[in-house]
Structure 1
Amino acid sequence: MAILRDAHELSVTEATRRGVAGLVADAEHGADLVVTRHHRPVAAVVGIARLTELEEAAADLRDLALVLARTATDAGRRTSLDDVLRAYGHTRESIADTPDDD
């Protein structure tokens, strides 16, 4: 699956001829541009709406990976807060009595 949909490839020389204003105008209208040097992609020009879409997709994928990892490693064992506090020599009361750092 390609991240950039129907990206138009152009060389650095072509991009230079078109100028920044031309590249920005295309990206602003939804075109995804890939700039190549010696036929290898070196840069991409995308509109801010597309960049936002890609960033949101990346965040969703990170969340999904976390959920899948937690699901795959969950043994069903749970530890209560009181057990954790006790393991560190505390109780809910001792935590409540701790002065705030101001």
Structure 2
Amino acid sequence: MKKMEIVCCMCGDVGFSDKLFRCSNCRNRFQHSYCSNYYRENAAPIEICDWCQCEDQRNSSSSSRSGYSGGKIRPHYGGEAAEKVAGKSQSPRTTTRRYKLLKDVMC
């Protein structure tokens, strides 16, 4: 029977086994340190997977937000800026974003 290899939860590959760590928070995910969105080469070793770090950030950001007063929010449609745009007719043509092709960039 074939031995089951541990793979990274981010890339799904075995990769470098010495860079693979088990999340110390959830204890059920393995991840390469270099696959982390929070990877820094000179920083201390990462011990928490991206899912747990994201969840921690989400929980801390929601608790640090200022409380909403509950008053009605009115949209701001703009004063002078709206008047200037109203006097100017807009073009029926939509603007398209121009991209360079790879062959034009390569020397």
TM-score (norm 2): 0.32
More strand by share: 1
Q: Whose RCO is larger (CA < 8 A, sep 6+)?
A: 1
Structure number with higher helix proportion:
1
